[in-house]
A and B are shown apart, each in its own frame.
Chain A
Amino acid sequence: MRTGSNSIPSSGGMSRVDGRLKVTGAAKYSAEYEVKGLTYGVLVGSTIAKGTIKSIDIKRAERAPGVLAVITHLNSPKVPGYQSANNTPKGQIRIFYDNKIVYNGQPMALVIANTFERALYAASLVTAQYNNGEHQTRLTDNLQAAFSPKDDNEYKRGDPDAWRSAPVKVEQEYLLPSEVHNPMEMHAIIARWDAEDKITVWDKTQGVKDTQTNIALTFKIPTENVQVNSRFVGGAFGNALQVWPHEIAALIGAKVVKRPVKLVLSRTDMFTSVGYRPHTWQKIAIGATADGKLLGINHHAVGQTSAYEDFAEAPADVSRQLYACANVATSNKISSLDIGSPVWMRGPGYATGCFALESALDELSYQLNIDPIELRMRNYTDVDPESGKPFSGKFLSDAYKLGADDIGWSNRSSKPGSLTKDGWLVGYGMAGGVFVADREPATVRATFTDRGKLILQTAVSDIGPGTATAMVALAADTLNIATENIRFDMGDSSLPPAPQQGGSTIMSSVGSAVFLACKQLIEKFKALGDSSDYAQLLKQNKLPKLEVLIDSKAGTEVDKYAMYSWSVHYVVVHVHPVTGVVKMEKVTCVADSGRIISPKTARSQIIGGAIMGIGMALMEEAVIDHRYGRLMNANLGDYHVPVNADIPQINALFVNKADTNINPIGAKGMGEIALIGMAGAVANAVYNATGIRVRDLPITPDKLLGALPHVA
């Protein structure tokens, strides 16, 4: 493995506090709790994309062995929150509410039986007759119907047409297919009614508090009567940021059979019913001077959404602040199709937008004959061009240099198709990433006992990055105590509130709260005596414990600064001149996300994001058969995600300079920037290797065949 001054080996730094539970199989995920009287639910999905259910035959399913109930819109108990649209979880279909079908695979029946096998078999016996509607599922046929969702604004600064009169121009369209999160753990819930107005769920969620609130609103019961447990979450990447219809279905089912119901989505349902990164068309026009100063940028995006929710990302927003440019026009529109709703997926909007912008900038660099890094440096800015505010902390220029040195950028040829090795074409590519660095309100309870133990408690979830590990590392550092003496409790809605684990906010939000709680403990200890042996201090003062509860949130700094995390990705690809196979040869990712709290998990997070970005670049694509409006590759055999053989060693480097303006710990999130930019870097490297510019992802061999340069 390669190491440098800003990198660490995979074995370096503190290991995960929950590592032992995860490697022994003792970590329990939502479907794995032993609950008395458990029953099993299996959903039946629609086989048309649009229309109404004319009739649904559940008799055979009901008569199948072990079946306890078959629930459809015809016999479902009324869900109180569904009666007023305001209380329906955002963008949700109201499950079993009426006979409307709005996408192919939409759940229309729930079969509950005393074993999983019996429920699964009985579900296969449910049949439906439909009144077919005419569906539209192809985005590129519906670009004209695109509209601006209410909460979006079209953005302009300076002269939007300035790019047209520039001496050097790039004007291109870019297409991103739908990509599906596909965490390894499928969505799962165990739903139990403890009383008429009391619920406990073990549920896969990125936010136990949000899930608690949503369930309470949907069933119109007091929030505190809903207990949400989500101790371990087997990945999510955005698709557990909201309460989905299947979660409500499980609760309806548990009410009907008066027993707890376990409902695990099938992998196919994971493709159709819990969101995806929306298929998006983008058009970019850039104009520059002959020496590479950007004169104008236009960036327009149209993403697909469902017929029942105006879900909109903001891919074009990256063009507002990534580079210094006086004349910018952007818009983010959506087009409604008869498909399931998209949802936030790792690096939402920005991953899509950066692919287009960073590809376009690469195209410009070849026209100008300026090195792509140099072109970016000529348009570098320390001030947010949109707000005019200084960035709270931006060391992206350091990141460019670190990455360039590590990948060996000086070995790149500026002439595409001119480097070869062992009969393969060799290409170098780079692209940057950016994501907003938000800090959300978070509350942490810190209890220090006279046995020298610190217990930190907050209702955050950990979908994988290692939240507990980072918080323990931070507290150990702040209080100067051993990590073994610290416990971090989370994934439980009865704990003090924390934000959802999404949008790279947890380190900044919960981390700040943990830090402030530890600082307050230190102050209280100082009042007790002059010693850093806190347990002894407590004993001397006859106190069994000391407890603080800290509410932490962003302050006035948000008015003074523009806040972002940054990344840059460098890759070397080998492209086979005959088959068009693209092989990742070398990858270096550099994060500029403030101070690094937990090096080992930070490194893994960057590598993991890079790998999902490689999937985005080279293989991931959800394909619809538009005749039926149905996904054709809704399984992990046909929808390709990167496997071990696709991935080389990846070097993760950190600028590791504290952002002293953003929060008390100087750390920012990096979950999104780990991925954002990677697809552009790969596309740019493929161009460098072959002279073929692929603007519609993924870059599969068929898009290269026929145009590949000859290798002697």
Chain B
Amino acid sequence: MKSKNPPEEPAHEDNFLESSRRDFLKHSGLLTAIAFTPSPLVKAAKSGLDEKIADLYEKVPVSLEVNGVKHQLSIEPRVTLLDLLREQLELTGTKKGCDHGQCGACTVHVDGHRVNSCLTLGVLVSGKKITTIEGLAKGDQLHPMQEAFIKHDGFQCGYCTPGQIMSAVACIREGHANSEHEIREYMSGNICRCGAYPNIVNAIQEVKEGGQPV
């Protein structure tokens, strides 16, 4: 739910909030310094182009590699890695379960480390390598963790599953899968409401003990 009655803000903050960014664009002297003069801007606003200009100025260039594919993007700085993947790159395997870093459904690997992509801004992963659930298998050949999840029924509805699997792979890579107890601790950032935890632990143990490269 959104905050309807924002707390009292300092005066300058109020002013900023009161004026839309469209107004900001129309009046900002700053823009003169970057090749635009106010006059064409006002003209642009009148002809409805201000939205497109806002679009342009609110975006930041980002280059990142997702599942081995390089992307040159221009995104708003407030876009999370999770929404970038799901809404702009059409990689919906990474799930939104809370958007607050409390459930782990959005877990991906950034340069090999597991992170909550909902707490990571897209602009902060520029230049980094991202692996999502879609990038785990080698073509038709599933990753051993994916095979183990199927075999041990490490899921029911399947919604937390991509996050669980990304976390599980990292859990072994980090060296945190040396006992049932340790696995449970290091997998506790990934909630499964269907309650597949014992099966998830069995799957991770099998992969760990199988010694296959993860």
Contacts and interface: CB of A to CB of B under 8 A. Distances in A.
Partners in one complex: yes
Interface of A: 1, 9-11, 15-16, 18-29, 31-32, 34, 42-47, 60, 63-66, 105, 115-117, 120-121, 123-128, 181-186, 232-235, 237, 264, 266-269, 272, 463-466, 600-601, 603-605, 607-612, 635-637, 641-650
Contacts of B188: 643-646
Contacts of B183: 644
B2 A234 contact: no
7 contacts: A22-B161, A45-B2, A65-B21, A65-B22, A184-B105, A266-B1, A647-B197
A134 B156 CA distance: 43
Nearest to A130: B4
Interface stretch (B29-37, B38-46, B50-58, B109-117): B50-58
Given A65-B20, A117-B76, A641 B191 contact: yes
Interface string B166-194: 00000000000000100111011111111
B156 A466 contact: yes
Interface of B: 1-6, 17-18, 20-22, 51, 54-55, 58, 76, 78-79, 83, 86-87, 90-100, 102-103, 105, 132-134, 136-137, 142, 146, 149-153, 155-162, 165, 180, 183-185, 187-203, 206
Contacts of B156: 235, 464-466, 601, 604-605, 608
Contact of A601 (B2, B92, B99, B153): B153
A28 B95 CA distance: 10
Contacts of A60: 17-18, 20
A38 to B, nearest CB: 9
A649 B179 CA distance: 13
Contacts of B192: 184, 644
A267 B202 contact: no
List the 7 closest pairs (A to B, CB-CB), nearest first.
A25-B93, A234-B159, A611-B195, A22-B158, A608-B195, A464-B157, A464-B156
Given A25-B133, A47-B4, A650-B198, A235 B142 contact: no
Looking at chain B's contact residues, the main secondary structure is loop
Given A65-B20, A127-B4, A184-B97, A23 B157 contact: no
Given A25-B94, A25-B133, A642-B195, 15 more contacts: A10-B199, A20-B150, A21-B158, A23-B150, A24-B146, A25-B92, A47-B5, A66-B51, A127-B4, A184-B191, A235-B194, A266-B1, A267-B100, A272-B1, A608-B194
Nearest to B75: A117
A693 to B, nearest CB: 27
Contact of A15 (B151, B194, B197): B151
B197 A184 contact: no
A185 B97 contact: yes
A609 B195 CA distance: 7
Contacts, number: 238
Given A60-B20, A184-B95, A124 B3 contact: yes
Given A105-B1, A267-B99, A116 B194 contact: no
Contact of A117 (B78, B134, B157, B184): B78
A465 B191 CA distance: 17
Most chain A beta carbons < 10 A, residue from B2, B76, B100: B2
B152 A11 contact: yes
Nearest to B202: A10
Given A20-B142, A267-B100, A644-B200, A183 B2 contact: no
Given A185-B95, A266-B99, A644-B200, A233 B157 contact: yes
A34 B96 CA distance: 16
Contact of A235 (B22, B100, B157, B200): B157
Nearest to A106: B1
A44 B152 CA distance: 42
A387 B155 CA distance: 40
Given A184-B157, A184-B159, A232-B158, A126 B191 contact: no
A10 B17 CA distance: 55
Given A32-B86, A184-B105, A605-B156, A612 B197 contact: no
A648 B199 CA distance: 11
A26 B98 CA distance: 20
A178 B95 CA distance: 27
B22 A63 contact: yes
Nearest to B55: A65
A21 B159 CA distance: 11
A11 to B, nearest CB: 5
Contacts of A11: 151-152, 202, 206
B159 A25 contact: no
A126 B133 contact: no
A65 B133 CA distance: 33
Contacts of A603: 153
B94 to A, nearest CB: 7
B157 A65 contact: no
A235 B55 contact: no
Given A117-B79, A267-B98, A269-B1, A22 B155 contact: yes
Contacts of A18: 158
B194 to A, nearest CB: 5
A396 B110 CA distance: 51
A29 B159 contact: yes
A570 to B, nearest CB: 16
A182 B193 contact: yes
A232 B3 CA distance: 32
Contacts of B162: 23, 25
Nearest to B152: A10
Most chain A beta carbons < 10 A, residue from B136, B158, B159: B158
B58 A65 contact: yes
A464 B134 CA distance: 21
A604 B199 contact: yes
Given A24-B133, A184-B103, A266-B99, A10 B158 contact: no
A601 B133 CA distance: 23
Nearest to B94: A25
A44 B5 CA distance: 12
A116 B83 contact: yes
A23 B134 CA distance: 9
A64 B20 contact: yes
A608 B86 contact: no
Contacts of A124: 2-3, 6
Contacts of B203: 10
